[in-house]
Amino acid sequence: MVRTRHVKRKEVTYSSAKKAKANMLIAIEDDVHTYKQFSTTCGAIQLYWRNLLRITSVLMRFPILHRVGEYFRPGNADEKIRCEAGTYTWLNENCPSMPTPKLYGFALSTGQTFTAAENLSWLPRYFHYIRCRILNLFGRPVPSKYVRHQGPCFDILNAGYLLIEYIDQCRVQRIGSFVIDDNGFLVLNNRPLSVEIPELEGKQIPVDIPRDIIYSSVDSYVTDILAFHDSRFAQQPNALKDSTDGAFKAAALTTMRAVSSYFFKRALRWGPFIYVLNDLHQSNILVDEEWNIISLIDLEYACSRPIEMLHPPYWFTSPHMNTIDVDHYTAAHREFMTLMEQQEEELYADTSVSSIVKNGLGNGSFWYSLALQSPTGLEDIFYDHIETIFTQDNDPYFIKVTYKFWKSDMDAFIASKVKDKAAYDTRLQEEFHIGSDTNDSPIIDLAECSTVGMPHPDQIVSDSVRHYPWRHIPN
């Protein structure tokens, strides 16, 4: 009988877990942490909001603490709540025609609670209104409509929440995420919280981007994104399959740094920057019977980004980034851009955004941006779509030369990663109770890996055919 483990609502076998690019040891623990938080949350929500609002249906959203990396980096859950509240507020103030659910209020794990002014009693509501009028009269920044007060701190829950309705007209000056600060002001002073950051930190991979950093230039932002791809390669125990795989990954990361300036024009280095929903997918778009969009939901990850990173979504034609049919997607891309240009002309008499987005598929910035957004898919996207922009030779000697430039003493680094992978495989087999008495792969002896190093350069060439069959050995 095949042994399985329950991972995120499905049964996973050892053979499939071994092939996964993600750290399955952490994924296996996901259900335990999730069920524990759900059982705690369901009891805690009865304590609050029951009589505060006269609303028939509301949706109370809690961050799943371990998935956003709260235990690995405390404060991530509150950061996520502030940024999501900032997104709702910014869209409401700057893009009122966009159909989004109402945000009635939110709270942080500290007990700080922010409630929309219209849901307060008359005295604090009118006090807030008068305060805003006076500040506006004197040309001072005006706070958002969310008023701070101290609510009950859920010690048993240790998490904040958002209470929302059930269910590119403005450009910004910096790259970052909007938040509601402690005084209720909408400010752009948080790191650009894209979905990759909490996902990596949730897998205990450090992302060396402080929460209070924002970017004024494209190149500094791209450099930091590539840095957390490097961090995943260095920190994840199963980041590579073997020494050859490590060489290919290191070569891809090295070249991604080298060619970044090709995809981002110097003239656009300092902007414009566009506020985007970077985790928008089909299930977050509600339509009516005639396919008119009636609402966008789940706006949890949004930030301002370089305009050259704005592209039509890859899921137009494919559920996965690394399985896109280029011809099929090109046709969908062309149709979408035609409609986008028409809408820009009708609404703004300006097609500056669409003209930049339209060129993304032709100049390759679509693929480069897609690779930046996919820690597990960067390598496939690079070799399939980015490397081919610069060379059509598929020369495997490229790997032999390039991988050593990822860091000094690469052979020793890859040897240590091979040992990490062996230890990971041993632990994974133990999780699935795989031993020598089964037909599955035997447990790896770490002692056998003590002398593992990089193979001879010629071996990398021959192994590249085995691991990457689209490559060939040059004559």
CATH of the domain at 319: 3.90.1200
Within-domain flag for 470: no
Q: What is the pLDDT of residue 460?
A: 47
Within-domain flag for 17: yes
Within-domain flag for 58: yes
- Do 294 and 180 reside in the same domain of the chain? no
Q: What is the pLDDT of residue 111?
A: 80
- Do 250 and 191 reside in the same domain of the chain? no
Q: What is the pLDDT of residue 38?
A: 61
**Residue span of the structural domain in which 123 resides:** 4-202
Task: Report helix angle 365-372 to 218-235, nearest 10.
Answer: 50
- Do 243 and 181 reside in the same domain of the chain? no
Q: What is the pLDDT of residue 122?
A: 80
The alpha helices in 49-75, defined as continuous H runs, are none
- Do 174 and 321 reside in the same domain of the chain? no
Total count of domains within the chain? 2
- Do 378 and 243 reside in the same domain of the chain? yes
- Do 164 and 258 reside in the same domain of the chain? no
Q: What is the pLDDT of residue 233?
A: 96
Dihedral of CA 196/201/204/209: which sign? positive
- Do 237 and 371 reside in the same domain of the chain? yes
Within-domain flag for 119: yes
The Cα–Cα gap between 401 and 404 comes to 7
Q: What is the pLDDT of residue 161?
A: 64
- Do 16 and 118 reside in the same domain of the chain? yes
Count CB-CB contacts under 10 A for residue 159. 22
Q: What is the pLDDT of residue 58?
A: 66
Query: Residue holding tokens 């597990």?
Result: 376
Within-domain flag for 351: yes
Within-domain flag for 192: yes
- Do 196 and 281 reside in the same domain of the chain? no
Taking 50 as the pLDDT cut, the residues of the chain under it are 1, 43-44, 46-54, 156, 166-168, 436-437, 440-467, 469-475
- Residue after which a domain boundary falls, among 156, 175, 202: 202
Q: How far is CA 352 from CA 89, 171, 272, 295, 356, in A?
A: 26, 12, 10, 26, 7
- Residue after which a domain boundary falls, among 341, 363, 398: 398
Extract the tokens encoding 369.
């941006």
Please name which of 103, 102, 184, 178 lies closest in space to residue 149, comparing C-alpha atoms.
Answer: 184
Q: What is the pLDDT of residue 213?
A: 94
- Do 133 and 252 reside in the same domain of the chain? no
- Do 58 and 10 reside in the same domain of the chain? yes
Extract the tokens encoding 350.
């300006």
Helix (H) or strand (E) holding 328: helix 326-347
- Residue after which a domain boundary falls, among 350, 366, 398: 398
The Cα–Cα gap between 329 and 335 comes to 10
Q: What is the pLDDT of residue 453?
A: 44
Cα pseudo-dihedral 36, 42, 48, 51, rounded to 10: 170
Q: What is the pLDDT of residue 435?
A: 66
The Cα–Cα gap between 44 and 60 comes to 12
Within-domain flag for 423: no
Within-domain flag for 246: yes
CB burial string 304-320: b at 16+ within 10 A, e below: bbbbbbbbbebeebeee
- Do 259 and 182 reside in the same domain of the chain? no
The Cα–Cα gap between 248 and 114 comes to 49
8 A C-beta contact, residue 27 and residue 8: yes
Q: What is the pLDDT of residue 446?
A: 39
Q: Which residues lie below 8 Å from residue 325, measured CB to CB, with a gap of 6+?
A: 317, 318
Q: What is the pLDDT of residue 348?
A: 67
